[in-house]
Structure 1
Amino acid sequence: MSGETVLERPEEARIRDELEKLVVHDLHGPFGDEEEEFRERPTDRYILGRLAPEGETIEPDLMDDGADTDGADVGEDEAEPSVLTAASLMPSALGCTVFVDGETAELKVSGRWARYERVDGPEGGGGGAGATGGRVWSRVPDSGVVRLALREGRLGPERMPCDEHVVVRGRARRHDGGWLVSVFLVNTTPRPQPLAARAWLFQARMSVSAVDGGPIFRARPDTFGGGDDIDRAEQRRLAMAYRFHPEFAVGHGVGVTARQAPDNHRWRPFQQDRRRHPIRQRQPHGLGVMAGE
């Protein structure tokens, strides 16, 4: 036998990246290709990145009666009563808040999502895992772009051209010479009685950018409020510690990523630089904000 290694030993970072991709594909989807098919309900298969139809609730349920009750203060012949949880709404929107230049008149909002439709599966098992004829769920990807005019107060709703039940809403107000804007991608599909999974949106994502791709985004202003003097001092210390990591967006029910425009070199968000060059906080940058990544 030769002394050569048969398999190359992968680096820890590569293993971690592959594991992360598997987890995201498993929980967020799509696990297969862009037009995957499977038998199980999509609401059971994917638990992340989904938007419920309008008014969808989690029904109240009883807690597990078989839970350990050792040490409970109950009577000799008295059973511990079950606790009825309250009904709550399922999230039907995702969004983010950004700070843009005061001269900006419009924002471009792009959305991507997928619905799953009930169709006849292919014969011979050609429709993915478990799809061997019969009825299956088929992924139907979609996307759209709208323009959101900025003004004081509520914005929209602006309906996506490809799906009237997917809308963009928001709110804007003037702050420190700029616009503080919250933007949301909303699923307004009414919940049908049969096949309710058709009304859900899966793998939902949203991006916010300038209409012309210009540098309009500013770092969110630091605000120190609430708590006592010790709390506010801690907030100021944190702002100083992270002064080289400006915050361009805050997600609402979702994670956000600020991406640099290709022709803008004034800020490098993903490149480590040990020299720590100072950053002008009020200077707008050419970024695109992605929500749902």
Structure 2
Amino acid sequence: MDKTLSIDPAVPLLKVGYSKPANGCINRLQWTHFAETIPKLCGKTLADIPLIKDSAYVRELLQYAVMDDLRGPANGPNELIKDMSVRDRYLVGKLAPRETLDEGNDWGNSAVDEAEDVVPDDLEVKAKPAPPTAGKRTKAGEQPKDEEALGKGEPETSDEIDVSKNQSLVPSSFGMTFCVDGEAERIEVEARWGRYERLHDHGITKTRKKKNKKTGKEEEIEVKVWQRIPCGGKMVLDLKQGP
């Protein structure tokens, strides 16, 4: 990120063995291929390209690199996350399903058991039982009998979730507040995100560290892979009274 060079005259990508990505998607180049291509593009090696003297520009690139690593997608909009969970790969910017699926969903589970999928308890959005009412004592093993002490769980008449009682480590929703000019009649909203789905037929393997007990040889096993599916779009909202 610390070097830049303008190429003049321009060189067609096809001349150096590249083709334009389909549908405008961003593709990551292999570093060795990129380094071998530089002399064909500009007649210089990477070592000959001068360093950027604009420190603010370098800091901005570093900021984007950190954001990609913490929030993603680090490997482009259609990335694959291999041999680890999405929750382990990224620290921020994640939303979990409000309710876990019946057939099991290890979206946020670490790859502890490679043989089967485990649904982590901390992804279940549920109410936290309230502590026993002050002044009342219960015997060991007994539960307080009044409703307040037991906790009432989620309200049946609303889809709203009480975030103060949400025990999930990964939130299921987020909100934002903003202001617009009072004369504005409408606003255009654009939202972009990615949905990660478990990819089963991928053929990506790794060598198991523990040897097979019967044969004594190391095994090739399939790793867990998550496919990112880009989502989002634009919509125009009229600014008028009402929901």
TM-score where L is the length of structure 2:
0.39
- Higher share in strand: 1
Question: RCO (CA 8 Å, sep 6+): is it higher in 1 or 2?
Answer: 1
- Higher share in helix: 2
- Pair member with larger Rg: 2
TM-score where L is the length of structure 1:
0.34
